[in-house]
Structure 1
Amino acid sequence: MVPNDTPPKKDRETWLVSACLLGQNCRYNAEILAEIPDELLPVLNDKNVVPICPESEGGLPTPRPAAQIAGPSGEAVLDGQSHVTTHEGADVTPAFLKGAALAVNAAANHGATKACLKARSPSCGVGLTHTKSGLAQANGVTAAALHRAGLQLFTEEDLMGRIDETGPKGH
């Protein structure tokens, strides 16, 4: 398991990591992901890991209705040109924006320069996320905010097939 409750080591790089990837119960459907995939351990074991769940930290409960970006991207949500709704039609944009802002603050406070985020999430998706039109080549709301803040972004899927950190595949 990646240690995330030990004091940070100054000689280690700091990464934000989606809390659900670390086994925390924060996914929209309250499904706890199994152990961290073995392929991620070599990448994260020598990092200071800061867990984040923008949706929970933004005030949404667990479980919660699935949500999607109305379109076209998390960047559009940040710019006030789109919103995030549940499949039932409830507007959850304020919670997504709050969670994104808290993630950016966490990155700044901890000196994080990279993030490993949950693939396809309307918050955390990097390069591919759920929108009203289906899966779209776009960032989620938090991924867009972290990208604007200068972080290098990966999903667990990007990292599972490779160890070098030169950049995510296909993004």
Structure 2
Amino acid sequence: MIARILVSACLMGHAVRYDGVAKPLLHPAIERWRGEGRLVVLCPEMSAGMPVPRPPAEIEPGRTAGAVLSGDARVLEKTGGDVTAAFREAAENALALARRTNCRFALLIDGSPSCGSSFVHDGGFRGARVSGAGVTAALLRANRIEVFSDRQIGELAARIEEFGS
């Protein structure tokens, strides 16, 4: 059985980001993995019923995705709405899909309060970045799914080679 890769839908050209656009990732490895049947495409937020477009959302200032998952922090929209429950549901949906489809890896868009794997925004809606993960990325990692950002496709390709299937 081949190891599959959960991929952010926006990286595959789907216009599902909060602002209604896509961030297509064009790379020969993507085409190879598509041909091998490795890719499982999902927008976690859409899976939780969030609309497109939707207001920008960020994890509360000074808090982490782990705190969101444990119920000790919130994900807030720029408009003030609390979307914590939707982001937690999105993460659970992504984990359930990854388990059902044998995803050992995830390739997620960085910077998102859901999919960010090396940085997220600081919660102040100023565009400032902080090191950290989004809610979905954190839950996947906590469940031993290796998460890579869209800037780490080479590292993901190397891990898949090491994995051997």
Percent of pairs with identical residues = 32
Match of 2:33 in 1: 44
Aligned to 1:140: 134
Q: Which runs of 5+ in 1 are unaligned?
A: 1-9, 167-171
Number of paired residues?
155
One of 61, 70, 83 as aligned partner of 1:79 = 70
Alignment deviations for residues 17-41 of structure 1 (CA, whole Å, 9 cap, x no partner): 001101112110001334x312543
Q: Residues 13, 66 of structure 1: CA spacing in aligned structure 2 closer, same or farther, 3 A cutoff?
A: same
Aligned counterpart in structure 2 of residue 149 of structure 1, from 118, 143, 146? 143
Cα distance in 2, alignment partners of residues 109 and 79 from structure 1: 24
Contact 1:40 1:156 in 2 (8 A): no
Q: 2:82 aligns with which of 91, 99, 104?
A: 91
When you count helix as a share of all residues, which structure comes out higher? 2
Point out where structure 2 has 5 or more consecutive residues left out of the alignment: 161-165
RMSD over aligned CA atoms reads: 1.9
Q: Does structure 2 conserve the Cα–Cα contact (< 8 Å) formed by 1:37 and 1:160?
A: no
- 1:103 aligned to 94, 102, 108, which one? 94
TM-score w.r.t. structure 2 length?
A: 0.85
Deviation at 1:42, TM superposition (A): 6.1
Structure 2 CA distance for partners of 1:30 and 1:105, relative to 1, 3 Å: same
- TM-score norm. by structure 1 comes to 0.83
In the TM superposition, what whole-angstrom CA distance separates every residue of 1:51-102 from its partner, at most 9, and x where no partner exists? 1111111121000001000042111100111100011111000110000000
- Give 3-state SS (helix, strand or coil) of 1:157's partner: coil
